[in-house]
Amino acid sequence: MVSLGCAKNLVDAEVMLGHLPAERFEIVTDESQAEIIIVNTCAFIEDAKEESVETILEVADYKQNGNCRLLVVTGCLPQRYAKELATDLPEVDIFIGTGELTRLVELIDAHQPQGGSLQAIDIPQYLYDHTTPRVKSSPFYSTYVKIAEGCDNHCSYCIIPQLRGPLRSRSIESVVAEVTALVADGVKEVNLIAQDLTAFGHDRNDGSTLAGLLRELVKIDGLHWLRLLYAYPEGISDELIELMAAEDKICNYLDVPFQHINDKVLSLMNRRIDQQAIRGLVERLRQAIPDLTLRTSFIVGFPGETEQQFSELMAFVKEGHFDRVGVFRYSREEGTPAATLPDQVAERTKKSRVEKLMKAQQRVSFRRNRALVDRIEPVLVEGYSEETELLLSGRSVRQAPDIDGQVYITDGQADIGDIVPLRITDSSDYDLIGEIVDPSEALSGE
C-alpha cells in the first residue's frame, strides 16, 4: 500500500488494509515483493495529481521487473478522472473511488487478466465507524481518527466536495468507541481529522457538536493528548474555546486555515469570513488560551490577487500571530468556480509570493520558538533522531505529527511512546532542543 496526500487519505488506506482477510493476504513493505500494489491517491491540487501519476508509473514497473500482477489505484484521482485514467494508464488493473473502498476484495476477485481495467466509481456516501476493520500504520502511541467525511463549505477554489461528497458525520458514540479501543491498545495521542472539524454534527440533526464530542472523549482514561486539525474558522464557537482552555487533555494547539486576510480575496474564495472576524477570532483564542499554538494556511496567487492585496497578507503574517504557517500556490482546478475567474496570476508570480511569505513566517516562527527556551514542555518521545542515533527525538505538545517540527533530546533517557517533561535549551526556525528533567522539577514550575 502506497498512500499519498493527507492524513484523511491515510485513514482510508488503513481501512482498505483492514478489509483484506489475513488468511488470504499478507501485507509487505517491500514493493518489489508484492503481488498486489495499491496506490491510494490525492488529487486536491495540480502538484498532488502529478505526484500521484508519477507514483503510479513508478510502481507499475514492478509488473515487468517485480512480482506485481495486479495494480490497484484508489482514492481521489480515479474519483475525479476515471475515464481519462483508464485510457492513459493501461498498466492499472482496478480503479476505485473514494466511496467504494470496502469493495477492494470483491474487485480483486472479479478482475480478469485479459478483461481490461475494472472501475468502481460512484457518488461518495461511505463513512467508516468503530466497527470497521482497520490496520493502523502509524506508531503505536499516536493515530488519526476521522470524525466526518465530505464537506459542505464549497470554497470556490476547492474540488473536495466533488471528490468526497457532502458532509457525513459519525455519531459521538462511534467516535468514542473507536478512541476507547485505540487507547486500550496503547495510543496516547489522538489527532482528530475531517475536512472541517467544526462542522461535525451539523448534518445529523441530533444535537451533536464538536464540543459535545470532546466532552465525551476527555473522559477516556489513558488518553493523554487530543489534538484538533483542520478547524474551519467560522465554526469555532466560544463554547469550543472555553472547553479547550479548561481541559488538559485537549492540546493547546489549533489548525485554522484562514487562506487570506484581504476581504475581496476572501469573498471571491467564498470563505464567508472577513478580516475583522479573523482578527477577532485570533484575539479571542489568544486571550482565552494564552499558551495556544496556532497554525494556519494561506493561498497566494488566487485569481485577481494584486500586489497590494498580497502585501496586506504579508503585513498580517509579519504581525506574528501564528506559530506555524503553510503557504500554497493557488491551483486552477477545472470544475471549480475560481477556475473561471478572470485575472489568473502567473505561475512565476505565485512561486515568488510563496517564497516571500514563507520567509516572513520563518522569522516569526524563530522568534516564537526562542521564547520557549528555558520552559519545561511535555514531549512525546518517538525514537532516535534521523540526523544521528546519538540523540532521541520527539514532538512537543505544540507539534502535530508529519506537519510540524521535532524536538531533539540532548540529555536523559526515555522509552518510545513516553511523554516526558523537557526543558527547552535551544531552538531553530521550526525545531526545539532540550533535556529531560525530573518530573518533580516540572511540577515546581519553569
Query: Is 68 marked within a binding site?
Result: no
Are 429 and 365 contacting, i.e. CB atoms less than 8 angstroms apart?
yes
Alpha helices, H only, 304-420: 307-318, 347-370
Q: How far, in Å, CA of 144 to CA of 190, rounded?
A: 6
Q: How far, in Å, CA of 20 to CA of 102, rounded?
A: 9
Count of other CB atoms within 10 angstroms of residue 286 = 13
Q: How far, in Å, CA of 438 to CA of 446, rounded?
A: 12
Q: How far, in Å, CA of 92 to CA of 95, rounded?
A: 7
Under DSSP, the state recorded for 432 is: E
Q: How far is CA 182 from CA 144, 252, 258, 268, in A?
A: 10, 22, 32, 42
Query: Is 151 marked within a binding site?
Result: yes
Residue with cell 481529522: 193
Cα-Cα-Cα-Cα dihedral sign, residues 206, 210, 212, 214: positive
Closest CA to 321 of 313, 329, 310: 313
Contacts of 126 (CB under 8 A, 6+ apart): 98, 99, 100, 101, 102, 149
Are 85 and 64 contacting, i.e. CB atoms less than 8 angstroms apart?
no
250, β-bridge pairs: 226
- Got the DSSP string for 225-279? EEEE----GGG--HHHHHHHHH-TTEEEEEE---B---HHHHHHTT----HHHHH
**Which contiguous run of DSSP H or E holds residue 184?**
helix 172-184
Query: Is 251 marked within a binding site?
Result: no
Contacts of 399 (CB under 8 A, 6+ apart): 293, 405, 406, 407
Are 249 and 225 contacting, i.e. CB atoms less than 8 angstroms apart?
yes
Tell me phi and psi for residue 361, to 5 degrees: -70, -30
Going by the annotation, the residues of the binding site for [4Fe-4S] cluster are 6, 42, 76, 151, 155, 158
Going by the annotation, the residues of the binding site are 6, 42, 76, 151, 155, 158
